[in-house]
Structure 1
Amino acid sequence: MKKIILATSAMALMAGMAFAQEGKTIRMGTEGAYPPYNFLNDNGEVDGYEREIGDELCKRAELKCEWVTNEWDSIIPNLTSGNYDVIIAGMSITDARDEVIDFTQNYLPPAASAYAALSADADITGGVVAAQASTIQAGHVAESGATLLEFATYDETVAAVRNGEADAVFADKDALVPAVEESGGEVVFVGDDVPLGGGIGMGLRESDTELKAKFDAAITSMKEDGTINAAIIKWFGEDATVYE
Structure 2
Amino acid sequence: MKSFGLSILAASLAFALAMPAHAGETLDRVMKTKTLTMSSDPEYPPQSFLNDKNEMDGFDIDVGKEIAKRLGVEFKTVTPAWEVITAGGWAGRWDLSVGSMTPTKKRAEVLDFPAIYYYTPASFAVHKDSKITKISELNGKIIGSCGGCTYDAYLKKDLVIDAQGVPPFEYQVTPKEIKPYDTDTNAFDDLKLGDGVRLDAVFSALPTINAAIKKGYPMRVVGDPAFYEPLAVATDKGDPEFDAKIKEIIGAMHKDGTLTKLAVKWYGTDLSTPAKTTN
What TM-score, normalized to structure 2? 0.73
Change (3 A) 1:179 1:80: same
Contact 1:131 1:137 (8 Å CA) reproduced: yes
Max Rg structure: 2
3-state secondary structure, aligned to 2:99: coil
1:145 counterpart (174, 195, 219): 174
Q: What letter corresponds to residue 124 of structure 1 in structure 2?
A: L
Task: Say whether residues 1:160 and 2:190 are aligned partners.
Answer: yes
Contact 1:136 1:196 in 2 (8 A): no
State the one-letter code of the partner of 1:53.
Answer: V
Task: Give percent identity, aligned residues only.
Answer: 25
Instruction: Please tell me the root mean square deviation across aligned C-alpha atoms, in Å.
Output: 2.2
- Count residues with an aligned counterpart: 222
User: How far is the alpha carbon of 1:114 from its aligned partner?
Assistant: 0.5
Q: CA deviation at 1:62?
A: 2.7
In structure 2, the partner of 1:195 is 227
2:118 is equivalent to residue 89 of structure 1: no
CA separation in 2, counterparts of 1:183 and 1:35? 13
Correspondence for 1:116: 125
Cα-to-partner distance string for 1:127-170 (whole Å, 9 max, x where unaligned) = 11000101100111122420201111211111222222010000
Query: Residue 24 of structure 1: CA displacement?
Result: 5.2
Aligned partners of 1:70 and 1:64: how far apart in 2?
20
Residue segments in structure 1 that go unaligned for 5+ positions in a row: 1-16
Deviation at 1:80, TM superposition (A): 2.5
Q: How far apart, CA to CA, are the structure 2 residues paired with 1:211 and 1:178?
A: 33
Equivalent residue number for residue 13 of structure 1 = none
Normalising by the residue count of structure 1, what TM-score does the alignment of the two structures yield? 0.83
Offset from partner CA, 1:93-113 (integer Å, 9 cap, x none):
21111111001211112x210
For 1:53-72, what per-residue CA distance to the aligned partner results, in whole angstroms no more than 9, with x for missing partners? 11111111234432222222
Q: Does 1:242 align with 2:256?
A: no
Distance, in Å, in 1 between the alignment partners of 2:88 and 2:107 is: 14
Alignment of 1:9-88 (within 5 A): 21-23=31-33, 25-77=35-87, 80-88=90-98
Separation of aligned partners in 2, 1:113 and 1:176: 9
2:222 is paired with a residue whose SS is: strand
| 1-structure distance, mates of 2:139, 2:241 | 44
Question: Which structure's residues are more often helix, by fraction?
Answer: 2
Correspondence for 1:98: 108
Deviation at 1:79, TM superposition (A): 5.3
Counterpart residue identity of residue 180, structure 2:
E
**One-letter identity of the residue aligned with 1:80:** W
Aligned to 1:9: none
* Number of the residue aligned with 2:207: 174
SS of 2:266's equivalent in the other structure is: helix
- The amino acid across from 2:118 in the alignment is L
Whether the 8 Å contact between 1:37 and 1:90 is mirrored in structure 2 is yes
Are 1:221 and 2:231 counterparts? no
- The answer (yes or no) to whether the contact 1:133–1:151 under 8 Å persists in 2 is yes
Please report how far the alpha carbon of residue 219 of structure 1 lies from its aligned counterpart in structure 2 after TM superposition. 0.7
Distance 2:131 2:245 in 1: 46
Partners of 1:68 and 1:24 in 2: how far apart?
Answer: 16
Q: Against the structure 1 CA distance between its residues 168 and 124, is the aligned structure 2 distance closer, same or farther, given a 3 Å change threshold?
A: same
